Amino acid sequence: MKFTAQQIADILEGVIIGNPNEEVSKIAKIEEGGKGALTFLSNSKYSPFLYTSNASVVIVNKDFEPAKKTVSTLIKVENAYESFSKLLAFYNQVRNNKIGIEQPTFISNSSKIGIDVYLGAFSYIGENVVIGDNVKIYPNSYIGDNSTIGDNCVLFSGVKVYSETVIGNNCKIHSGAIIGSDGFGYTRDKNSVYEAIPQIGNVILEDNVDIGSSCTIDRATMGSTIIREGVKLDNQIQVAHNVEIGKNTVIAAQTGIAGSTKIGEACTIGGQVGIAGHLNLGSNLKIQAQSGISKNLKAHAVVQGTPAFNYNDYFKSYVHFKNLPELVETVSKIKKEINAEKELE
């Protein structure tokens, strides 16, 4: 896939300094740019690489003036970083713009498929499934009975969507994710034998939700596990049955959320956080990585530690913790001096 400097400038509304017909077919970091590569420069500390790079086209800020001659064609824009991100999104859209149904694929006669849909080979579409327009489902994916997928969604290879799941518009689910598996619910009889509690609820993903690779989102015991609009989940996250994650919350990798916990809107949750079940966590929280949440949190709290507490208090306490050996030695020394004085008496 090739683009000329002029085509790129037209997309970004930029000004070309150099050859408008220069072609690019790949994207690279500025320090690794070679012939045919497109890159960008927004941070001045990387400026020296511009004069050693062989990249064909470089996007720069409009106020940038090269200190010496470059072999690259420059495209001047308002904000090089934002423009490059925009271009990446455009490139990704073009690259993934597949249409059609590959074979072998199973599609139930009772399912409804929208227009401009891509179904990769070995996909399975169950009974009464509804798939919207411009949906891309990559090979080896499974869509269970009575599920709904909205418009403009992308399900990458190997995604498993269990029955009754509802997925909104503009959602992206990465490879290996499992949506709608049974919640971890069991009862134990008098002989300590565990029996599974039937999980008859479902999972709802609202619009503009992104799910990372190898995430698992369990169906509700009854009712729904709900991932609200704009939520972004990193890779390898466990969301248990009947959890609700509020609008525009982002969660980093390897976090686990136990059953029936409610998380508010616009929260930022770091990696490897453990959240106990049946909690209510307010909106606009910041939970630092590797924290353990065992109680309700009010809105706007910033916490760290296990069990987690106020972020500033945590760091004050950590200073004392680091000095603990010295403090113990000091106390022991004072204790010996006191004992010595008592013996003299």
Name the amino acid, one letter, at 84: F
N- to C-terminal Cα separation, the chain: 92
User: Which residues make beta-bridge pairs with 293?
Assistant: 275
Helix axes 80-95, 5-12, angle to 10 degrees: 110
Our answer to whether residue 174 is catalytic in this structure is no
DSSP states of 148-187: EE-TT-EE-TT-EE-TT-EE-TT-EE-TT-EEEEPP--EE
**Sheet architecture: strand order including 292-293:** 106-107, 124-125, 142-143, 160-161, 178-181, 216-218, 238-239, 256-257, 274-275, 292-293
Task: Point out the catalytic residue in the list 241, 278, 300, 320.
Answer: 241
Give alpha helix (H) positions in the chain: 5-12, 47-50, 80-95, 311-322, 324-344
Using an 8 Å Cβ cutoff, are 304 and 270 in contact?
Answer: no
Token couple for 196: 């599974």
Using an 8 Å Cβ cutoff, are 158 and 141 in contact?
Answer: yes
Checking DSSP bridges between strand 250-251 and strand 268-269, what pairing results, if any? parallel
Which of the residues are catalytic?
A: 241
